[in-house]
Amino acid sequence: MKIRHFRAAAVLFACILVLGLTGCGSADPDRQAAKVNDTVITQGQLENFSILYMYTLGYDPNEITDEEKSTILQQMVDTEVLRQYFEGLNGENIYGDSFEDDMKKFLDSAKSSEKDFLDKYSITDEDIEYLYRANYLNSTLYTQIQNEHAETDLIARAEEYYDQHKDEYATDPEVRFSVIRVAEQEKAEDIKRQLDGGADFANLAKQYSDESASAANGGDIGFYTRAQVTADYSDKIFDMEVGSVSEPIEADKEFMIFKVTDRNDSGFKSFDEVRDDIYYSFIREYYDQKLDEMKEGCKIEIN
CATH number at residue 197: 3.10.50.40
69, 94: one domain: yes
CA gap 136, 250 in Å, rounded: 56
139, 243: one domain: no
140, 230: one domain: no
For residue 31, which phi and psi values (nearest 5 degrees)? Answer: -70, 145
33, 130: one domain: yes
SS3 176: strand
Where b means 16+ CB within 10 Å and e means fewer, 87-123 reads eeeeeeebbeeeeeeebeebbebbeeebeeebeebeb
| Beta-strand relationship, 39-42 and 170-171 | unpaired
- State the residue range of the domain holding 243: 173-265
The predicted pLDDT at position 79 comes to: 93
Give residue-wise pLDDT tens across range 60-103. Answer: 888 888 888 899 999 999 999 999 998 887 665 778 889 999 99
CA gap 16, 146 in Å, rounded: 14
Query: Does some domain include residue 165?
Result: no
50, 144: one domain: yes
Instruction: Count structural domains, the chain.
Output: 2
118, 249: one domain: no
The predicted pLDDT at position 165 comes to: 95
Query: Does some domain include residue 159?
Result: no
Give residue-wise pLDDT tens across range 215-250. Answer: 999 999 999 988 888 887 888 888 899 999 999 999
The predicted pLDDT at position 90 comes to: 64
180, 218: one domain: yes
286, 243: one domain: no
CA gap 298, 302 in Å, rounded: 13
**pTM exceeds 0.75 for this model:** no
The predicted pLDDT at position 1 comes to: 29
Which DSSP string corresponds to 256-272? Answer: EEEEEEEEE-SEE--HH
227, 95: one domain: no
Segments of the chain with pLDDT less than 50: 1-26
